């Protein structure tokens, strides 16, 4: 599933291609996404120009002039790109929006169809929807907030980091990478961390995500940015997906275990669980 760095890359790619341009047409495929596209949305979007495109957690918001906000989630395999209208249409393309100004279109392709679209006509409703599901962005998070949230749960650190209401945007890949950077075992109970360890983890999350954004995210299977380019951060993984490979610090083979239903990769020597 695309995580914060991948979604941020899509937004940054799409921003110069969409802002100031209007939706001229909307073509909806026969198969529904996680939620069915409401045909009434077409009249609310056609003819309106994109004022801004932003990211909140793993969600994308497009704001249109005089009103609506289109909320997009890429799901597990969603690709949100601008392509030449004459370019052959790939399989599993479920939505297409013709754009003003040039012969290209905004396309949403999703093999597994877990992606979703929602339309909000009132900004407060959009913000309430997101705030009910998401904690703060992981950049410059207040250290006291972070420590309080971790000290208030007995869940393993890996499970806590995956909780979008605690901190927004972190998923399986970057939780593993941040825990490795902070030298913390993924199964350590969150409330067992010292204040120093909490701060080390908070900084590791931020540093890892910034580096991943600089690398345009991680392409493992389906992910591509809004311009169609792949990510490169997968070439810099220190823990995720490296089972059996030598640790970049101590050369101990990386191990994997299941936590909160997800594979968790770690170095058994560098990341020792608190006693």
The one catalytic residue in 55, 58, 96, 107 is 58
Residue range(s) in the chain whose domain bears CATH number 1.10.8.50 = 143-266
Sign of CA dihedral 168, 173, 176, 179: negative
The one catalytic residue in 3, 6, 105, 177 is 3
Q: What is the pLDDT of residues 117-167, one digit of tens each?
A: 999 999 999 999 999 999 999 998 999 999 999 999 999 999 999 999 999
Mean pLDDT, rounded, of the chain: 96
Output the pTM of the full model: 0.95
- 2 labelled catalytic: yes
**Residue 137: its pLDDT value, please?**
97
Residue range(s) in the chain whose domain bears CATH number 3.20.190.10 = 4-131
- 58 labelled catalytic: yes
Q: What is the pLDDT of residues 40-92, one digit of tens each?
A: 999 999 999 999 999 999 999 999 998 899 999 999 999 999 999 999 999 99
Strand partners, 264: 257
**Residue 178: its pLDDT value, please?**
98
**Residue 140: its pLDDT value, please?**
85
The one catalytic residue in 12, 262, 268, 269 is 262
> Which CATH number is correct for 4-131, 3.20.20.70, 3.40.50.720, 3.40.50.1820, 3.20.190.10?
3.20.190.10
When pLDDT is cut at 50, 70 and 90, the band that residue 273 belongs to is: confident
- Share of residues in the chain with pLDDT > 70 (%): 99
Q: What's the whole-number mean pLDDT along residues 174-180? A: 98
Q: What is the pLDDT of residues 95-123, one digit of tens each?
A: 999 999 989 999 999 999 999 999 999 99
CB distance 58 to 11 below 8 Å:
no
Residue 86 CA to residue 178 CA, distance in Å, equals 42
Give the DSSP per-residue string, the chain.
Answer: ---HHHHHHHHHHHHHHHBT-BEEEEEE-SS--SSPPPTHHHHHHBTPBEEEEEEETTEEEEEETTS-EEEEE-TTTEEEEEEETTSPPPTTEEEEEEESSSSEEEEEEESS---EEEEESSHHHHHHHHHTT----SSS--HHHHHHHHHT--SBHHHHHH-TTTSSS--HHHHHHHHHHHT--TTSBGGG--HHHHHHHHHHHHHHHHHHHHTT---SSS---TTSPPP-GGGG-SSTT-TTSBPTTT-PBPEEEEETTEEEEE-TTTSPPP-
Q: Which of 169, 160, 110, 162 is nearest to 137 (CA)?
A: 169
Assigned CATH topology for domain 143-266: Helicase, Ruva Protein; domain 3 (1.10.8)
- When computed from its CA atoms, the radius of gyration of the chain, rounded to whole angstroms, is 20
């Amino acid at each position: 599933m695309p995580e914060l760095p991948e979604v941020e890359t899509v937004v940054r790619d799409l921003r110069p291609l969409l802002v100031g341009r209007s939706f001229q047409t909307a073509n909806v495929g026969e198969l529904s996404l996680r939620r069915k596209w409401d045909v009434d949305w077409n009249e609310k979007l056609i003819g309106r120009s994109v004022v801004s495109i932003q990211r909140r957690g793993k969600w994308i918001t497009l704001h249109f002039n005089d009103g609506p906000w289109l909320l997009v989630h890429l799901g597990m395999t969603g690709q949100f790109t601008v392509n030449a209208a004459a370019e052959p249409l790939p399989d599993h393309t479920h939505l297409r929006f013709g754009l003003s100004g040039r012969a290209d279109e905004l396309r949403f392709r999703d093999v597994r169809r877990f992606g979703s679209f929602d339309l909000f006509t009132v900004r407060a409703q959009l913000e309430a929807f997101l705030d009910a599901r998401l904690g703060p962005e992981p950049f410059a998070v207040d250290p006291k907030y972070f420590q309080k949230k971790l000290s208030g749960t007995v869940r393993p650190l890996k499970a806590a980091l995956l909780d979008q209401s605690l901190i927004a945007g972190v998923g399986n890949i970057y939780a593993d990478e941040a825990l490795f950077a902070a030298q913390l075992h993924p199964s350590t109970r969150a409330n067992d961390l010292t204040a120093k360890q909490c701060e080390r983890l908070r900084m590791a999350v931020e540093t890892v995500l910034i580096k991943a954004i600089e690398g345009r995210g991680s392409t493992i299977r389906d992910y591509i940015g809004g311009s169609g380019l792949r990510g490169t951060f997968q070439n810099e993984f220190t823990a995720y997906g490296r089972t059996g490979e030598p640790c970049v610090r101590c050369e101990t083979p990386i191990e994997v275990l299941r936590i909160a239903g997800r594979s968790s990769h770690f170095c058994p020597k560098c990341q020792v669980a608190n006693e």
